[in-house]
Amino acid sequence: MESLATGNLTGSQRDELMQQVKQQIAVANAQELLTKMTEKCFKKCIGKPGTSLDSSEQKCIAMCMDRYMDSFNLVSKTYSERLQRERNRM
């Protein structure tokens, strides 16, 4: 098995590898977000699991997921802005 030594990669190969890693991290973050959102909204909205959701459960889940995504987006935006400010100070 050939080992991967980033020192032997060309600039474009390194860039491609970094892009692949960033994509894998983005997919992992999206999966974690979906898992956490599902767990939290299920606990909040589903009192007695059954074969279907009643209208109040459906509404609760939809609102919970919307609020969760809004909160996640706000935190992500604020975090990104803070990182950018910190980079500009350097």
Q: What percent of the chain has pLDDT over 70?
A: 92
pTM across the whole model:
0.66
DSSP state of 9: S
DSSP 11-76: HHHHHHHHHHHHHHHHHHHHHHHHHHHHHHHHHHH-SS--SS--HHHHHHHHHHHHHHHHHHHHHH
Residue 1's pLDDT band (boundaries 50, 70, 90)?
very low
Q: How many CA atoms lie within 13 A of 74 on its CB side?
A: 6
- pLDDT for 26 beyond 80: yes
Q: What percent of the chain has pLDDT over 90?
A: 64
Q: Are 48 and 59 in contact (CB under 8 A)?
A: no
Q: Does domain 13-89 have CATH number 1.10.287.810?
A: yes
pLDDT at 2: 46
- pLDDT for 38 beyond 90: yes
